[in-house]
Amino acid sequence: MSDENNRPVVISARGLKRHYRRGSETVKALDGVDLDIREGEMVSVLGPSGSGKTTLINLLSCLDAPTEGTLTIAGKSVAGLGEDELVDVRRGTLGFVFQKFHLLPTLTVAENVELPLVFLRRPVDRAATTAVLARVGLEGRSGHLPRELSGGQMQRVAVARALIAKPKVLIADEPTGNLDKANGEQIFDLFRSLVRDEGLTVIVTTHNLQLGYLSDRVVTLEDGRVVKEEKGQALAAAGAAH
């Protein structure tokens, strides 16, 4: 038996809603989501375009506030927190990867990876940067510029940048949306190995079913609601091995 249900919950949402007003109409982008993310699991959020994935991710990332419902991150209720306190929750706990990489074109690979440390006013340690770049399979690329890399490599730089401040949870919204199949699989494999070997927690959205099911757990959204929760291949494989 695997112990996945005994691990502490790191993110917990109850009745989470995000409604937008569009003229006289209300768009129920998220309409009552309950979700527990446990430490050391990789969870895919699947669903068609417009189902609410990005809305959910923005709430879990504390970039946006819910219309209704509660959200607890690393034991702290984030409802009603001010901007400064939200920033504290974000930087102590969360790392982010985006669809479009968002690397700064004039900075080297190493400088891009170190940027969060600069913003956090934490010391930069080039040896640590080199180590995290090696972890994502980019040894020897520190001095390159982003334009000298492939899309898959750029996204791995972005993963290294998300890891440099040692987050508990990595949140990735459609990280494979701009990648081909092989590079997309590489990103999911990298996430899986970070979860397995380093105990990281990963929440990743995708509309690609094949990739989504590589996770431990798969949550499917439709019209702003969770319509399905399933085991993914990683957990099924771990269960079979026990």
Ligand X SMILES: Nc1ncnc2c1ncn2[C@@H]1O[C@H](COP(=O)(O)OP(=O)(O)O)[C@@H](O)[C@H]1O
Name the residues that contact ligand X, by CB under 6 A: 20, 22, 27, 29, 47, 49-55
**What residue 29 binds from Mg ion, ligand X, none (CB within 5 to 8 A, per partner kind)?**
ligand X
User: Residue 174 CB, nearest distance to Mg ion (Å)?
Assistant: 6
The structure tokens listed for 28 are 């129920």
Give the up-direction half-sphere exposure of residue 26: CA atoms within 13 A in the CB hemisphere.
Answer: 8
Residue whose CB is nearest to Mg ion in the complex, by number: 54
DSSP letter at 9 equals E
**What residue 186 binds from Mg ion, ligand X, none (CB within 5 to 8 A, per partner kind)?**
none
Q: Where are the alpha helices (DSSP H) in 24-107?
A: 53-60, 83-93
**What residue 208 binds from Mg ion, ligand X, none (CB within 5 to 8 A, per partner kind)?**
none
Among 168, 12, 43, CA closest to 93: 168
Contact 93, 74 (CB under 8 A): yes
DSSP letter at 179 equals S
Rounded to whole angstroms, the Cα distance separating 185 from 211 reads 7
x/- track of binding to Mg ion for residues 152-181 (CB under 5 A):
------------------------------
User: Residue 155 CB, nearest distance to ligand X (Å)?
Assistant: 18
User: Residue 198 CB, nearest distance to ligand X (Å)?
Assistant: 28
φ/ψ of 175, rounded to 5, equals -65, -15
What count of other Cβ atoms lies within 10 Å of the Cβ of residue 24? 5
**What residue 6 binds from Mg ion, ligand X, none (CB within 5 to 8 A, per partner kind)?**
none
Among 58, 18, 60, 55, CA closest to 35: 60
One-letter amino acid at 34 equals D
- Nearest residue (CB) to ligand X, 46 versus 132: 46
Name the one residue in this structure whose structure tokens are 């004039």. 106
**What residue 171 binds from ligand X, Mg ion, none (CB within 5 to 8 A, per partner kind)?**
none
x/- track of binding to Mg ion for residues 32-71 (CB under 5 A):
---------------------xx-----------------
Using DSSP, state whether 97 is helix, strand or coil. strand
**What residue 47 binds from Mg ion, ligand X, none (CB within 5 to 8 A, per partner kind)?**
ligand X
How many amino acids of this chain bind Mg ion (CB under 5 A)?
2
- Nearest residue (CB) to ligand X, 50 versus 92: 50
For Mg ion, the binding residues (CB under 5 A) are 53-54
